[in-house]
């Protein structure tokens, strides 16, 4: 989804001299070619109040950091930034040359070899290291970041903290809710947001840290108090190249530059490798019961279907909490246990946490678009599962409480990791009785060819499954319906009252991007409309 770029600025901004900035970060003033205007005197009297790396949001008093990008060099936007009030530009030697060639000499140009590396620390410096005024929690991993972040925030609020939250769905500063554009904001925006949280009297921060953010240095300049790792499976290989590179990006969070300590779920091989790669103290967490030597273990899980689960989290030192989560599925026990272990690793007293959870009714939070139930007859669940692992687990979580058929409606995103498409088709067939392949966000790709790739995987898996079919058991049905709104409506109309319909892949999202144009589309709205139509039809037939 593309949404307008917005800008948040702390109200009280300190004024810093550009000269101090240059000295602190050992920046060169100008290049050889810009030298006539670029001596040390060029910085005299220049003050900086805030930082921006996108010219469209520059405001008076900004330092504009012009980054080299994949599609453009930020320096090509510097004149626009200066028109809007930028007081100085920080860029790389190539950016300085671009400014020079454009004859842009209105403000001093500060130069460093890799401005992306410096953007976070510079913004932290300008805003007075806001993260150091908060107790900070960072969650990374392929699946479960959003959910775990909400659960951490929930536990912290139950403990009486005014919390801040940053992630895919939204950002929160106490009770103030702000829209999200990225899972992890760009460094300059992130530091401004943290400074705003500090002004709002927020004491804790739970945030998602994506692998893109780690690779693109968005969280440089922040040392989180506790970092958490959920799991790793195939995703984002359009950006990272291969799984090892994707893992390495996430492993950067478990180094002293980014975190003081960590909690790592070790139930998959990547989690175990993360404990070896980490160069900070790391506590291990095993939820699946296979690793009894883990620091934190989860035992005595009692799953109550759609009503969630009860579980016990225990540390080797004897600390123990028995609690519940209302979020369904074994993976949500993992998310809840990770959230709790992270809060306890930050130093919370186990008795306080126990008391807070009893008062709050367990470790739960309404996470928009994550296993969100929007109807009961048929049961309709909207979930953000948009990769192989998540889709397979979401179906497995719904199967035990499905009395009729389990139906899934989903597609795959365009311009992103293409390798996962046939595999998503295959796990859909393995987990559901009826598979409806439709569109997700096609972005710039042809929706029909994306569907064809998903369908190829689904049909191949169906042929295998039908070959091994027990007599009398209906074969799996695989169909293709587009557009997505029609797929949702048709599927709900045709479902039986005992069926469960999982609408997977877009969760909370309210825009669908097709060929660069955003179209309003909210799976929950479409599903509710289809359920209402169904109710009307039933009434008419009954009348």
Ligand X SMILES: CC(=O)N[C@H]1[C@@H](OP(=O)(O)OP(=O)(O)OC[C@H]2O[C@@H](n3ccc(=O)[nH]c3=O)[C@H](O)[C@@H]2O)O[C@H](CO)[C@@H](O)[C@@H]1O[C@H](C)C(=O)N[C@@H](C)C(=O)N[C@H](CCC(=O)O)C(=O)O
Which residues lie near ligand X (CB under 6 A)? 53-56, 67, 69-72, 74, 77, 182-184, 186, 210, 212-213, 216, 239
The region of 297-305, 380-388, 462-470, 515-523 touching ligand ATP under the rule CB under 6 A is 380-388
Pick one of ligand ATP, ligand X, none as the site partner of residue 54 (Cβ within 5 to 8 A by kind): ligand X
* Contacted entry of ligand ATP, ligand X, none for residue 180, CB cut-off 5 to 8 Å set by kind: none
Residue 132 DSSP label:
G
Position of minimal CB gap to ligand X: 69
Examine residue 231 and tell whether it contacts ligand ATP (CB under 6 A).
yes
**Bind-site residues:** 141-147, 183-184, 210, 218
CB nearer ligand X, residue 85 or residue 128: 85
SS3 for 314-328, per residue?
Answer: EECCCCEEEEEECCC
Min dist. Cβ of residue 189 to ligand X (A): 10
Q: What is the full DSSP assignment across 381-431?
A: EEE---SHHHHHHHHHHHGGG-SS-EEEEE---TTS-STHHHHHHHHHHHH
Nearer to ligand X, 499 or 513 (CB): 513
Min CB(378)–ligand X separation in Å: 29
State the DSSP code for 297. Answer: E
Residue 499 burial by Cβ neighbours in a 10 Å radius (0-12, 13-18, 19+): buried
Tell me whether strands 47-48 and 88-91 are parallel, antiparallel or unpaired: unpaired
User: Nearest approach, Cβ of 215 to ligand X (angstroms)?
Assistant: 8
List the interface residues with ligand ATP, window 183-212 (CB under 6 A): 183, 208
How far apart CA 313 and CA 165 sit, in angstroms, is 24
- Partner interacting with residue 213 (select from ligand X, ligand ATP, none; CB below 5-8 Å by kind): ligand X
173 binding ligand ATP? (CB under 6 A): no
CB of 451 to ligand ATP, least distance (A): 21
Classify burial at 37, counting beta carbons within 10 Å of its beta carbon; exposed 0-12, middle 13-18, buried 19 or more.
Answer: middle
* Residue the block writes with tokens 């979401």: 394
Of 11, 435, 348, give the one whose Cα is nearest residue 157. 348
Q: Are 381 and 502 in contact (CB under 8 A)?
A: yes
Q: Does 370 bind ligand ATP (CB under 6 A)?
A: yes
Q: Choose between 68 and 368: whose C-beta lies nearer to ligand ATP.
A: 368
Q: Is 168 in the site for ligand ATP (CB under 6 A)?
A: yes
Distance between CA atoms of residues 320 and 163, nearest Å: 25
Interface segment toward ligand ATP; rule CB under 6 A; list 12-20, 142-150, 217-225, 250-258: 142-150
Q: Is the peptide bond before 9 cis (omega within 30 degrees of 0)?
A: no
459 or 510: whose CB is closer to ligand ATP? 510
**Does the footprint of ligand ATP cover residue 331 (CB under 6 A)?**
yes
Stretch that binds ligand ATP, among 128-136, 173-181, 268-276, 383-391 (CB under 6 A): 383-391
* Strands 170-173, 62-65: pairing kind: unpaired
- Taking the complex as a whole, the smallest distance from the CB of residue 231 to ligand ATP amounts, in Å, to 5
- Which CB sits closer to ligand ATP, 66 or 393? 393
Is the CB of 57 or the CB of 394 nearer to ligand ATP?
A: 394
CB atoms within 10 A of CB 40: 11
**447 SS3 class:** helix
Residue 506: contacted member of ligand X, ligand ATP, none (CB under 5 to 8 Å, by partner type) = none
390, interface contact from ligand X, ligand ATP, none, CB < 5-8 Å by kind: ligand ATP
Q: Tokens 């980014």 correspond to what residue?
A: 258
Task: Select from ligand ATP, ligand X, none the partner in contact with residue 56, using the beta carbon and a kind-dependent cut-off of 5 to 8 Å.
Answer: ligand X
**Under rule CB under 6 A, residue 137 binds ligand ATP:** no
Tell me if 146 contacts ligand ATP by CB under 6 A: yes
The secondary structure of 204-253 as a DSSP string is EEEEE--HHHHHTTTTTT--EEEEEE----S--HHHHSSHHHHHHHHHGG
Nearest to 331 by CA among 524, 138, 137, 148: 148
Q: Which neighbouring-strand residues pair with 14?
A: none
Contacts for 45 with CB less than 8 Å, ≥ 6 apart = none
389 lines the binding site for ligand ATP (CB under 6 A): yes
Q: Is residue 147 close enough to count as binding ligand ATP by CB under 6 A?
A: yes
Q: How far apart are CA 130 and CA 123, in angstroms?
A: 10
Among 184, 204, 230, 413, binds ligand ATP (CB under 6 A): 230
Interface ranges with ligand ATP (CB under 6 A): 141, 143-147, 168, 183, 208, 230-231, 331, 334-335, 370, 383-385, 389-390, 393-394, 507
């Amino acid at each position: 989804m593309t949404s307008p770029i917005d800008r948040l600025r702390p109200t009280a901004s300190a004024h810093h001299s550009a000269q101090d900035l240059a000295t602190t970060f050992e920046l060169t003033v100008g290049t050889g070619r810009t030298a006539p205007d670029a001596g040390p005197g060029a910085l005299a009297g220049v003050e900086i109040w805030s930082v921006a790396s996108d010219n469209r949001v520059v405001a008076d008093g900004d330092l504009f950091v012009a980054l080299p990008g994949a599609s453009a060099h930020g320096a090509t936007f510097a004149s626009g930034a200066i028109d809007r009030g930028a007081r100085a530009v920080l860029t790389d030697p190539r950016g300085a040359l671009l400014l020079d060639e454009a004859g842009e000499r209105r403000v001093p140009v500060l130069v460093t070899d890799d401005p992306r590396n410096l953007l976070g620390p510079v913004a932290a410096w300008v805003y007075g290291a806001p993260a150091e005024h908060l107790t900070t929690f960072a969650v990374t991993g392929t699946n479960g970041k959003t959910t775990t972040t909400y659960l951490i925030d929930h536990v912290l609020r139950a403990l009486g903290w005014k919390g801040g939250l940053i992630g895919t769905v939204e950002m929160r500063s106490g009770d103030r809710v702000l829209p999200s554009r990225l899972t992890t904001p760009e460094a300059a925006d992130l530091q401004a947001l943290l400074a705003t949280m500090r002004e709002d009297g927020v004491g804790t921060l739970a945030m998602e840290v994506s692998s893109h953010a780690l690779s693109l240095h968005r969280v440089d300049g922040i040392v989180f108090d506790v970092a958490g790792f959920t799991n790793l499976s195939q995703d984002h290989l359009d950006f990272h190249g291969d799984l090892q590179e994707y893992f390495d990006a996430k492993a950067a969070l478990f180094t002293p530059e980014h975190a003081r300590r960590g909690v790592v779920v070790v139930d998959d091989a990547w989690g175990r490798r993360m404990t070896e790669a980490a160069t900070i103290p790391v506590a291990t967490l095993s939820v699946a019961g296979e690793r009894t030597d883990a620091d934190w273990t989860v035992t005595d899980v009692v799953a109550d279907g759609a009503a969630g689960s009860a579980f016990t989290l225990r540390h080797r030192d004897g600390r123990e909490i028995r609690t519940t989560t209302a979020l369904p599925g074994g993976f949500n026990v993992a998310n809840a246990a990770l959230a709790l272990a992270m809060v306890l690793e930050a130093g919370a007293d186990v008795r306080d946490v126990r008391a807070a959870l009893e008062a709050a009714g367990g470790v739960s939070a309404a996470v928009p678009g994550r296993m969100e139930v929007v109807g009961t007859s048929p049961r309709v669940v909207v979930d953000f599962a948009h990769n192989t692992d998540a889709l397979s687990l979401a179906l497995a979580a719904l199967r035990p409480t499905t009395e009729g058929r389990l139906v899934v409606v989903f597609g795959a995103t365009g311009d992103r990791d293409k390798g996962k498409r046939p595999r998503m088709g295959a796990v859909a067939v393995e987990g559901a009785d009826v598979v409806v392949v439709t569109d997700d966000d096609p972005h710039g790709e042809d929706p029909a060819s994306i569907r064809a790739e998903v369908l190829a995987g689904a049909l191949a898996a169906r042929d295998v499954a039908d070959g091994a079919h027990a007599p009398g058991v209906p074969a799996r049905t695989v169909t293709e319906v587009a557009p997505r709104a029609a797929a949702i409506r048709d599927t709900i109309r045709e479902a039986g009252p005992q069926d469960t319909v999982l609408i997977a892949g877009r969760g909370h999202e309210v825009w669908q991007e097709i060929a660069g144009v955003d179209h309003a589309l909210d799976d929950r709205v479409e599903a509710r409309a289809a359920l209402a139509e169904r109710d009307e039809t039933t009434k008419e037939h009954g009348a």
